Chain A
Amino acid sequence: MTDETDNRLLLLAPQDNVYVLRDQIEAGETIMVEGRRIAVPRRIGLGHKLARAAIAPGDKVLKYGAPIGSATAPIGLGEHVHTHNVKSDYTPTYTLDEARREHGDAQ
């Protein structure tokens, strides 16, 4: 229901439990998700995902109507869904996040 969800959030398939951002959401914004007001503490970039429902650890994350991994932590409605709370069911995801922290590159 678009009037209850921010129009920057794109739903790819009806059974999905995540939305995809069609534009970034800035830190401090309050957005509507499924009729609820959600405060966004940190900036979330274009192409990233946000929870459409509460997701429990071990639950499958569904995008395009297909499982794209499993939650590793409780994820609340409207929270950023990414490598900090989801893992692959195939091979681990490699990032430069640790190197960035060490070298002070905020990106």
Chain B
Amino acid sequence: MTAIMGFQRADGRKGIRNIVAVAYLVECAHHVASRIVAPTPEQAHVIGFPGCFPNDYAQRMMERLCTHPNVGAVLLVSLGCESFNRYQLEQVVRDSGRPVETLIIQRDGGTRATIEKGQAFVARAIEQVEAVRRVPMDVSDLVIGTVCGGSDGTSGISGNPAVGRAFDRFVAEGATCIFEETGELIGCEDIMAARAATPALAAELRTSVDKAARYYATLGYGSFASGNADGGLTTIEEKSMGAYAKSGQSPISGLIKPGDIPPGGGLYLMDVVPDGEVRFGFPNISDNAEIVEMMASGVHMTLFVTGRGSVVGSALAPVIKIAANPHMYERLSEDMDVNAGRIISGSATLDEIGAEIHDLVLRVAGGEPTKSEELGHTEFILTYKSFEPIGPSCLPV
């Protein structure tokens, strides 16, 4: 394999992309941010938080995202009167060694003037980030996340277990792999706990799924959409068994929450269900909310398995889409990077598709664009949540 050349960041991490992040700090600044990146959609991506009221989780997520290894420079776009702590966010980005500037629409002359200043910053920043040092990157430097969305009865027998095979190889090679959505692991708590590195971690894994079951019971619905049932999935626990297959067979090294950076190689579960009483609605209101949390914990890219056929990508970090359903692949092949439906039609084995995913991850890390990158997808969503810090048993190694 040829060496991957990463972008060296001051905190020691290496990026596989070199994006200028343009972050709106309240929905009122979203339009201006979108226009700022319009002339340079490949080099500059919009992220942001829509709320006007403070939230520790959102602050932490934005700090992590603006210092993500795939990000080379940051422009903050504030309306001026929102509660988001832009001073702290700017300081965190500056301390990371990245070029950063804050524009305030109320101060800088409104929509047109702020867009002009923002585009000028982005043009300079694109030149500045080109000077970032390129360094060889090993497989063990990679952090890879996986989610599934638009699941159906094929997801759990083709795409998800194929990702599990790829994850097993990556973990063996020293990479860091993260799976998530504890609300879609309901019913899997015992078999999952049996894979924990320590008994205390096993207890934490069980507790995280119990919390998800309680949270969703209060909301009245599971993490289950109408289209899941159309695709043959009958219950949340059936969907869970399929989703769980993405984690492969490796031992589970730790339990993290969104924004926690895994301390080393291995397989980690991300607990995405808020702590405390139900406050801000559904834990993740759509698939991109999960991808955003994965990025906040440092994933360089996300493996997205879909049976019904999602087309999303993401700002900042590439999304590799794996089609689980061979019929859907025929309709949406332009959006799909891997056809795991071949496992169902009988023309490929799980190991072959797992190897295909593994090799594609390395090529994407080396710069090859994914289908969603080529199509210009840069979805992003961040909403209110609240978390307690993880306990001492969650990261035993």
Residues of A within 8 A of B (CB): 10, 12, 20-23, 45-49, 61, 63-64, 66-69, 81-83, 86-97, 107
Contact = CB atoms under 8 A, between A and B. Distances in A.
A61 B237 CA distance: 11
Contacts of A68: 187, 234-235, 237-238, 241
Max count, chain B CB within 10 A of own CB: residue among A61, A64, A94: A64
Given A67-B237, A94-B224, A107-B230, 12 more contacts: A20-B153, A47-B231, A47-B325, A48-B232, A49-B232, A64-B242, A66-B187, A66-B188, A68-B234, A90-B216, A91-B186, A93-B229
B213 to A, nearest CB: 6
B61 to A, nearest CB: 27
9 contacts: A45-B230, A45-B231, A46-B153, A46-B327, A47-B152, A47-B307, A90-B186, A90-B216, A94-B221
A87 B241 CA distance: 16
B236 interface: yes
A47 to B, nearest CB: 2
A69 B153 CA distance: 15
Contacts of A21: 153, 232
Interface of B: 152-154, 156-157, 186-188, 191, 213, 216-217, 220-222, 224-226, 229-238, 241-242, 307, 325-327, 344-346
A88 B222 contact: yes
A96 B226 CA distance: 6
Contacts of A48: 153, 232
B328 to A, nearest CB: 9
A67 B297 CA distance: 33
A93 B235 contact: yes
